[in-house]
Amino acid sequence: MSQLKPVSLAARDLLVDLAKAEHLQLISNAMTALLQERPEVWLPNPVPLDRVEKVVVPLDRVGTEQGFSGSRVFVAYFADRDCEVDPSSPFILKIGRFDKLTEEYGNAAAWPKVGDDHRFAKPFFIHATRASDHDGTAAAVMAAPFSSGKMFQYPSNWNFEHRDLWQMLKRTDEGSAALVRYLHSTYNVLRRVHCAGRTHYVRSGLNFAEEYKWYIRELDAAFRMIPVALFGSAAKTEAFGREWPNPLLLVDRILKLRTFTGAFGAVHGDLHPRNVVVDTDSLSYVIDFGWASANGHVVRDFALMDINVRAMALSAHLERSSVEEIARYLHPNDRQASSTDPRVTACQDVIRDGIWAKVNEWQVVQNWEVEYLIPLFLIGFGLLKYLETARNQSALQLTILALAERLEGSVQSLERS
């Protein structure tokens, strides 16, 4: 359990390692505006403003890691300087580019509401002053619940532990059962959003170049340097002691394919293990709506989780043969890895029982290779930008190579059709 200790925002010498000096005034102004515009964040609140303590702690101080969005994330709460009133419940403060945060705030607002809406920790306040950040870029501060949308309660809950699926995946030697339960909890509530209350998925035209452009970073010159360095530009590439189809060239071909059909609905778009927070009751809560969309290919919410489980979060201390077996496990009917290492079996169990089971149960896809493996391939390819952050870099590369090999024939057939 992590208990936050009050620290004065005015005491800059105490916050030098918590926030950049140029951010402190932005955060302070945003918290003042939050308390004035949304007083329910601290009820009952009889404390005069001159006694309000604004407490700000970086996210990594409470057991989780900063993400890759470019925004800086903090846990914050209000406290009574005289310690006569209990602190408020903690909430998330995100400071970043004005355009990015206002877009995220709008995405969350446009998302459909469901009966379990508190399971989605949507942002509830934004302080968009257009004040300049240190590099001259307009900045904003956004507030969101710490984990659950049910944050406006009293007495305040400020003794808390932050647990997410990423932390659990790093301990897969303990087995997969809990991870599967939390994934089921996540997808059960997401399905209501995907289907907008219907009993089935709506199928519509699927264009990979348009739908997955954010994941592959639009293959601009800066990003393209990474796969070129890894795979070269020839039709075949040498890696891990053998020859493979070049993934970069296959991506280029996929992006030129005609439109296919796929399941569409509201999507989170960034459903990876760090964005699923869990509690002790086998319930999960979805956070971070920066890529949320009111209409998108819903497989994105399955494939991104899949590639993170098998590649980004996989232990670095596995034999390469085991890593390659996981990389080649791409269909529910594929043979599972022969390894007896519990981390390997847990990884495959999580993919099969936690993710694919829901894809099949709800008939999300009709053509596995076109509607699931191609998105998995494109998303994995895009993650090469973050290769150095993968726990097992070989796992990400081998997964991309195995997918390229698996899909080469299918792409040829699609090009001829």
Predicted confidence at residue 68, as pLDDT, reads 56
pLDDT (0 to 100) of residue 70: 64
What's the CATH number where 220 sits? 3.90.1200
Q: Are 58 and 121 part of one and the same domain?
A: yes
Query: Do 221 and 127 fall into the same domain?
Result: no
- Strand, helix or coil at 410? helix
Beta-sheet strand order (sheet of 260-267): 202-206, 260-267, 293-297
3-state secondary structure of 154: coil
Peptide bond into 44 cis (omega under 30): yes
Instruction: State which of 139, 160, 181 marks the end of a domain.
Output: 160
Q: What is the pLDDT of residue 220?
A: 76
Same domain, 207 and 259: yes
CA distance 138 to 74: 19
Whether residues 152 and 222 share a domain: the answer is: no
DSSP code of residue 41: G
Residues 24 and 119 in one domain: yes
Q: Are residues 297 and 393 in the same domain?
A: yes
Domain boundary among 126, 160, 194: 160
Same domain, 259 and 396: yes
Instruction: Please check whether residues 325 and 185 belong to one and the same domain.
Output: yes
Q: Which residues of the chain have pLDDT under 70?
A: 1-22, 45, 60-70, 129-137, 147-162, 172-174, 218
Burial 123-154 (b: 16+ CB within 10 A, else e): bbbbbbeebebeeeeebbbbbbbbbbbebbee
Shared domain check, 91 and 175:
no
pLDDT digits 0-9 by tens, 291-304 = 999 999 999 999 99
DSSP letter for 172, please: G
Q: Do both 135 and 219 map to the same domain?
A: no
Asked which of 160, 177, 192 is the last residue of a domain, the reply is: 160
Question: What pLDDT does residue 153 have?
Answer: 47
pLDDT in tens, 95-131: 988 989 999 999 999 888 887 778 898 999 999 765 5
Distance (Å, rounded) from C-alpha 265 to C-alpha 193? Answer: 7
Q: Are residues 339 and 383 in the same domain?
A: yes
Q: What is the DSSP string of 46-77?
A: ---GGGEEEEEEEGGGGT----SSS-EEEEEE
Number of structural domains, the chain? 2
Domain with 357 in it: 165-416
Domain shared by 148 and 212, yes or no? no
Q: What is the pLDDT of residue 299?
A: 97
